[in-house]
Chains A and B, each alone.
Chain A
Amino acid sequence: MKSFDVVVVGAGTGGYVAAIRAAQLGKTVAVVEKQSALGGTCLIWGCIPTKALLEHAHALKVIQQASEWGVTLPSGTPTINMTQVHTRKDKIVDGLTKGIAFLFKKNKVTWIKGTARLAGPGKVEVFEGDKQTLEAKEIILATGSSPRSVPSVTIDHTRIITSDEAIHLKEVPTSLVIMGSGAVGVEFASIYRRFGSEVTIIELVNRLVPVEDEAVSAELEKSFKKQGIAVLTGTKVTKATSTSTGITVEAETDGKTQKISAEMLLVATGRGPVTTGLGAEEAGIKMERGYIKVDELYRTSVPGVSAIGDVITLGTGVHPQLAHVSSMEGIITAERIGGKDVQPLNYDHVPGCTYCDPEIGSVGLTEAQAKERGYDVRIGTFPFGVLGRARMAGETEGFVKIVADKKYDELLGVHMIGPRSTELVAEAVLALRLECTVEELIKTIHAHPTFSEAVGEAAHAAHGAAIHM
């Protein structure tokens, strides 16, 4: 029986990062992964392929606007070739997964191909693939999540699909209905609308991207409508049927039902934990609604077994299913196992990046959340459109919104929608992490001409008046 200090189950962004960090701290580490490549959902099914597609969409957008830029194209409408798109995308994904394999080698992390289950204290059995039983002083469960449907809709993977299929579509559907307007929903709406689909997005809640600040939701809806995306909020899908040619969705808004037909239905209603065959419950691990219950340092109820990433619940609100959260949880767990002094993660400081068009980047409390927590809130908003840099780029939608506490001038949240927002949010994350005041943000020089000027100006606005407004 092979013996390791740490055995990690799952090689997604949580698992592989935890493995590397544990190895860096001198532990012998094995990672069991059932997929044929490393990287998990993020690399193979999620962030990386979708963002690759979004870059294609962006490229297409620029080319579509060629005349604005003074570029003369050969006659005809620019179109996208999906085969070439997938070739490029797959090359990127392939390169990145190989990069992890390289990092494993470099850090002497053993990659075991197969499916794992817990087999008693300190034991992990690989029962599929490279069958064997591993001995582990510490086990980290990082099995992740998979797309989850709702009871009224059955996924058939051809007409009624999930994001797993949506990244591989060989042809652009002429029409597409998307259920759910979280990150996955609005990103595919942006991609396929740009590629030429007629897109309808249906959201149960009364606004798009419900986790974001309400102002961001409103701005996105405005932009989506302008782009020709049909937006149905406050709408419930009561029935979805597929035929050989397409799908029909029955959607109910304010008690009124309408039928929407399209070529495909993308179900983007969320992701559920992957624990099938893991034997977590049999091993005595406490679960909650199918998720593995952990404490704030990611210990399960069974000593020597930790869990991180999409598969966990901390028992306090919704645990964000984000690659960067999983990675940080992996690092914290590995360092705890490695005997380092660790501190619990502050989930108020988790940035969210949504790569729809226009992009959304946000961190911290929304205005509504801040009010709910009893802060005396002050708001500062600055539109990108005022900035020289944004006009040059032809990206004038959106704004930066700052949510701050009046009493101590504490920065509570920064919400952006517009060009480069997913990059610009980094400054805000650091500001929150370092407990910045709005005053400090005002006094921070924002280079000119950049999109980041909007952050400084929003800070000014929170204190009364922006300079350029």
Chain B
Amino acid sequence: MPTPVLMPQMGESIAEGTIVRWIKKVGDAVDRDEPLFEISTDKVDAEIPAPAAGVLTEIKVKEGETVAVNSVVATIGASSEISKQEPEAMSAPPPASAASPSREAVVPADVVDQPHGKPATSPRKTNGRSATATKPVEDDSRKQRSSPLVRRIARDNDVDISQIHGSGLGGRVTKNDILGYIDTGIRDSGSGIRDDQGAGVSRTPGESRVTNPESRVEVRPLSVMRKKIAEHMVMSRRTSAHVHSVFHVNFSTVERIRQQKKAEFEQSGVKLTYMAFIAKAVVSALRKFPIVNASLDGDNVIYKKDINLGIAVALESGLIVPVIKHADEKNLLGLSRAIADLANRARAKQLKPEDVHDGTFTITNPGQFGSQFGMPIINQPQVAILGIGTIEKRPIVIDDAIAIRTMAYLTLGYDHRLVDGATGDQFMAEIKHQLENFD
């Protein structure tokens, strides 16, 4: 029985994913859970494991193409089942309607507000790349002036000419333009992926191109992750009424406990970090203030029973927010272990789709690079995000005396549509109380 390989859902607000690289070729034998292909979505770049053992008999979605989640991207079967069809000859991938709404469909805030979170049931407009291989290229060429050579290069490299800024007369795309486009697109993102609506890549007319030797700028297309982050951040700013509260928190108690338990934790193979303490305090505050663990859906508030903590992890090329599921069920050791595991796997591109799902609250740590405090942007469709400033010894006043204590500024960015200042500050006061009186 052939097993279809689906584009996984990598986050609640994600309707599609881009295949960055096929790790296996048609005809390759695969083991179950062996990395099969690499994808890029707005939240995560990840290697996707094979759902079954067998032979990769067919690849339906080529590298660089974007399809809706749950679309069939390949088939794994017995070795005799190798498809006669070459990927080049493939017709359009299955319509996006195959995608089932995410489990979070009850949280339509993201569906309503997120431009890329369009219900998966409305098939996205495909461009030349995700439909048949050659014909759309020719269609594009009619919209965009080019040359026989450029069209040939476009066909061979599966490039959509209409996405390229032409430097020739009348905006004609020249050989240098397309080769430059392919070069920068492939080499810089390390994948050959292109933005698929073109908004992030298309160059405005008159903009300097690399081919102009006079130009003092170099134009490179955004990586998929970068572009999705950009979209997501701007969308969040537009969606939520951001306000921020900053609290100065004494970490002396936490520090003392950390020093005490450090060795014990290390024996369990886990490094005890401040983050675990903060996560614990956040969980406890979220339990007290469920509105901070909610989402806004039109005229309804969605209260979430699980506390799933997203922890922002900085990567070389972007940012990922893996999620600690059921953080409220974990003790300090469990939280420490979960944080370390997610961060490691995020950096190794080993996150599984479910690792980035279903976050209800996010913690970000600008302090790790020395920032006193940050003013973080909410990770939609959540309503609040906690930023941790650098934790260091500072002089503070205790009982009219100046004392040296381990201190940090914690910042809460929250959505004033749902959370008022009083609630936000009480929530923060609770975190502060928890951290300063940790036991």
A contacts, CB < 8 Å to B: 295-297, 343-344, 407-411, 434-437, 439-440
For window 56-76 of B, CB contacts with A under 8 Å fall at none
A434 vs B156: C-alpha distance when bound (angstroms):
19
Minimum CB–CB distance for B374 against chain A, Å: 45
Cα A344 to Cα B153 in complex, Å, equals: 23
Task: Scan B73-90; emit 1 where CB is below 8 A from any A CB, else 0.
Answer: 000000000000000000
Residues B152 and A436 in contact, CB atoms below 8 Å apart: no
Tally of A-B Cβ pairs under 8 angstroms: 36
Is the Cβ of B149 less than 8 Å from the Cβ of A435? yes
Any chain A CB within 8 A of the CB of B147?
yes
Closest chain A CB from B147 CB (angstroms): 3
A411 CA to B152 CA, complexed, in Å: 12
Q: How far does the alpha carbon of A248 sit from the alpha carbon of B175 in the complex, in Å?
A: 53
- 18 new A-B pairs (CB below 8 Å) besides A434-B147, A437-B152, A439-B148? A295-B214, A297-B214, A343-B167, A343-B168, A344-B213, A407-B156, A408-B152, A408-B153, A409-B152, A411-B149, A434-B148, A435-B147, A435-B148, A435-B174, A435-B175, A436-B147, A437-B149, A440-B148
A99 to chain B, nearest CB (A): 29
* A/B interface sample: 29 pairs, CB < 8 A: A295-B214, A296-B213, A296-B214, A297-B214, A343-B167, A343-B168, A343-B169, A344-B213, A408-B149, A408-B153, A409-B149, A409-B152, A410-B149, A410-B152, A411-B149, A434-B147, A435-B147, A435-B148, A435-B149, A435-B174, A435-B175, A436-B147, A436-B148, A436-B149, A437-B148, A437-B149, A437-B152, A439-B152, A440-B148
B164 to chain A, nearest CB (A): 14
Main secondary structure of the interface of A (DSSP, over half): loop
For B175, what are the chain A residues with a Cβ–Cβ distance below 8 Å?
410, 435
Interface mask (B152-182 → A, CB under 8 Å = 1, otherwise 0): 1100100000000001110000110000000
The contact size tier of chain B is 10 to 19
List of B residues within 8 angstroms of A409 by Cβ: 149, 152
| A134 CB to nearest B CB, Å | 29
C-alpha spacing A296/B149, complex, angstroms: 25
Does residue B313 face the partner (Cβ distance < 8 Å to A)? no
**B150 lies within 8 A of chain A by Cβ:** yes
Residues of A within 8 A of B152 (CB): 408-410, 437, 439
In whole angstroms, what is the CA distance A365 to B406 when docked?
71
Q: In the complex, which residues of chain A have a beta carbon less than 8 angstroms from the beta carbon of B156?
A: 407-408
CA distance A407 to B147 in the complex (A): 16
**CB-nearest residue of chain A to B167:** A343
Q: Once the chains are docked, how many angstroms separate the CA of A296 from the CA of B214?
A: 9
CA gap between A5 and B147 in the complex, in Å: 38
Distance of A439 Cα from B151 Cα, bound (Å): 12
**Cα–Cα distance between A409 and B148 once the two chains are bound (Å):** 10
Q: Which residues from B are CB-within-8-Å of A411?
A: 149
- 8 closest A-B pairs by beta carbon, nearest first, are A435-B147, A435-B149, A440-B148, A437-B148, A410-B149, A408-B152, A408-B153, A435-B175
Query: Chain A residues near B214 (CB, 8 Å)?
Result: 295-297
Q: Which residue of B lies closest to A344 (CB)?
A: B213
CA distance A437 to B153 in the complex (A): 10
- Cβ contacts B186-220/A at 8 Å (1 or 0 each): 00000000000000000000000000011000000
* Cα A434 to Cα B213 with chains together (Å): 21
Set of chain B residues within 8 Å of A435, measured between Cβ atoms:
147-150, 174-175
Closest to B174 in A: A435
Looking at B149, B150, B169, B175, the one whose CB has the most chain A CB atoms below 10 A away is: B149
A279 to B153, CA, bound (A): 49
Alpha-carbon gap, A407 to B179, bound state (A)? 13
- List, in ascending order, chain B residues with CB within 8 A of A343's CB: 167-169
What are the residues of chain A within 8 A of B169 when measuring CB–CB? 343
Complex formed: what's the CA distance from A296 to B215 in Å?
A: 12
Report the minimum CB–CB distance from B143 to chain A (whole Å): 18
Please give the distance in Å from A317's CB to the nearest CB on chain B.
15
Question: Whole-angstrom distance between the alpha carbons of A296 and B211 in the complex?
Answer: 13
Question: Chain B CB within 10 Å — which of A295, A411, A440 has the most?
Answer: A440
Most buried by A among B152, B174, B175: B152
**Chain A, residue nearest B147 (CB):** A435
Q: Which residues of A contact B147 (CB under 8 A)?
A: 434-436
A440–B169 CA distance with the chains assembled, in angstroms: 20
Instruction: Name the A residues within 8 Å of B174 (CB-CB).
Output: 435
- Bound-state CA distance A337–B39 (Å) is 51
Query: In the assembled complex, which residues on chain B have CB atoms less than 8 Å from the CB atom of A437?
Result: 148-149, 152
Interface-central residue, A295, A408, A434, A435, by most chain B CB under 10 Å: A435
Bound CA span A296–B153, Å: 27
How far, in angstroms, from A409 to B153 measured CA to CA in the complex?
A: 9
Give CA–CA (A440, B146) in the complex, Å: 14
**Whole-angstrom distance from the CB of A236 to the nearest CB of chain B?**
38
Give Cα A409 to B168, complex, Å.
Answer: 20
A408 to B182, CA, bound (A): 14
Docked Cα-Cα span, A295 to B167, in Å, equals: 19
Q: Smallest CB–CB gap between B137 and chain A, Å?
A: 14
Give the residues in chain B near A436, CB-CB below 8 Å.
147-149
Instruction: Specify which chain B residues have a CB less than 8 angstroms from the CB of A295 in the assembled complex.
Output: 214
B179's nearest neighbour on chain A, judged by CB, is: A408
Report the minimal beta-carbon distance from B207 to chain A, rounded to whole angstroms.
13
Contacts of A408 in B (CB 8 A): 149, 152-153, 156
Q: Which residues of A contact B153 (CB under 8 A)?
A: 408
Contact string against A for B residues 126-152, beta-carbon threshold 8 Å, 1 for contact and 0 otherwise = 000000000000000000000111101
Chain B residues within an 8 Å CB radius of A434: 147-148
- Chain B residues with Cβ below 8 Å from A297 are 214
B177 to chain A, nearest CB (A): 10
Chain A contacts for B150, CB-based, 8 A: 435
Q: Could you tell me the distance between the alpha carbons of A295 and B213 in the complex, rounded to whole angstroms?
A: 10
Most buried by B among A295, A408, A439, A440: A408
Q: Contacts of B167 on A, CB cut-off 8 Å?
A: 343
How many angstroms from the CA of A343 to the CA of B167 in the assembled complex? Answer: 9
